């Protein structure tokens, strides 16, 4: 029997759902599932007595009505999967001073996450295959540095001055040492889960941490990590370093 899916968005840019639709695998996904609720593609309604096998939910919770909506979905769904960084960790809206941005798991119990902003193609496809096979999603357990094309034997220390979040041309085209940290550019690879296939790194941008932490809370990991290096005063003052994709749980309640 086909799995019954609900796919919906809370506060989001719709980038995760757009990425889903853009996957080569999406046509097969449609054939193998029963899409009971997917307002992005179909004009259908959430029906109170409809049961779903899997709810794929994009976006963070940022309004009271979304809390009620999410609780309703929880009641009717066997599994809830947080789709993307906003749903899994709170996401980019965490930078807002006006709105709250909380991950799904702060409101209801969830059964897995597909991280990334938006989730990277290969990982996304593999996660969907696992769901269709009725198996648990498996995420990489190593950090991004492990296997990074820019990795060298450089070790972060207090002698490393980090004063940039965006590399300049010299950083990108200089021969020799390639690790962004060595060049003084903040890269969150050491504390970020791998699985993105180094798309940003290969494009000349350091890791901003959208895949989430390998373990524990993003912000506390960033604070511990930055304490290992000599981070410039200006950079330390930039709050976006700490709350770009998540606020610490204690501040969300």
- Interaction of residue 10 with ligand SF4, rule CB under 6 A: no
Choose, by CB under 6 A, the member of 38, 180, 242, 243 that binds ligand SF4: 180
Task: Please tell me the distance from the alpha carbon of residue 56 to that of residue 33, in angstroms, as a whole number.
Answer: 13
Selection from 243, 189, 198 nearest residue 217 by Cα: 243
Compute how many residues bind ligand SF4; rule: CB under 6 A.
27
Q: Let me know if 17 is exposed, middle or buried by CB neighbors in 10 A (0-12, 13-18, 19+).
A: buried
12-51 binders of ligand SF4 (CB under 6 A): 12-13, 15-16
- Interaction of residue 189 with ligand SF4, rule CB under 6 A: yes
- Interaction of residue 118 with ligand SF4, rule CB under 6 A: yes
- Interaction of residue 222 with ligand SF4, rule CB under 6 A: no
Q: Let me know if 74 is exposed, middle or buried by CB neighbors in 10 A (0-12, 13-18, 19+).
A: middle
Comparison of 118 and 184: residue with beta carbon closer to ligand SF4: 118
Q: Quickly tell me which residue has 């511990």 as its tokens.
A: 224
- Interaction of residue 187 with ligand SF4, rule CB under 6 A: yes
Choose, by CB under 6 A, the member of 80, 84, 102, 124 that binds ligand SF4: 84
Q: Quickly tell me which residue has 């009271």 as its tokens.
A: 64
Selection from 76, 39, 40 nearest residue 55 by Cα: 76
Beta-carbon contacts of residue 97 (< 8 Å; ≥ 6 apart): none
- Interaction of residue 85 with ligand SF4, rule CB under 6 A: yes
- Interaction of residue 66 with ligand SF4, rule CB under 6 A: no
Choose, by CB under 6 A, the member of 20, 54, 92, 113 that binds ligand SF4: 92
Selection from 196, 57, 60, 180 nearest residue 124 by Cα: 196
Give the binding site for ligand SF4 (CB under 6 A). 12-13, 15-16, 58-59, 84-86, 91-92, 117-118, 144-145, 148, 150-151, 179-181, 187, 189-190, 201, 206-207
């Amino acid at each position: 029997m086909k799995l019954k899916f609900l796919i919906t968005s809370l506060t989001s840019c719709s980038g995760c759902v757009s990425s889903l639709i853009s996957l080569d695998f999406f046509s097969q996904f449609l054939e193998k599932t029963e899409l009971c609720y997917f307002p992005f593609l179909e004009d259908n309604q959430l029906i109170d007595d409809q049961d779903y096998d899997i709810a794929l939910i994009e976006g963070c919770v940022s309004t009271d009505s979304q809390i009620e909506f999410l609780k309703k979905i929880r009641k009717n769904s066997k599994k809830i999967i947080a789709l993307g960084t906003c749903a899994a960790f709170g996401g980019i809206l965490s930078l807002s001073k006006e709105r709250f941005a909380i991950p799904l798991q702060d409101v209801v119990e969830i059964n897995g996450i597909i991280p990334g902003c938006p989730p990277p193609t290969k990982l996304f496809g593999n996660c969907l295959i696992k769901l269709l096979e009725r198996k648990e999603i498996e995420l990489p357990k190593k950090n991004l540095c492990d296997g990074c094309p820019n990795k060298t034997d450089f070790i972060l220390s207090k002698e490393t001055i980090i004063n940039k979040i965006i590399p300049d041309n010299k950083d990108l085209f200089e021969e020799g040492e390639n690790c962004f940290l060595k060049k003084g550019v903040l890269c969150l690879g050491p504390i970020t889960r791998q699985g993105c296939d180094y798309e940003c790194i290969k494009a000349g941008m350091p890791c901003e941490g959208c895949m989430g932490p390998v373990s524990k809370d993003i912000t506390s990991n960033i604070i511990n990590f930055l304490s290992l290096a000599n981070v410039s005063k200006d950079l330390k003052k930039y709050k976006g370093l700490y709350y770009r994709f998540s606020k610490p749980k204690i501040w969300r309640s």
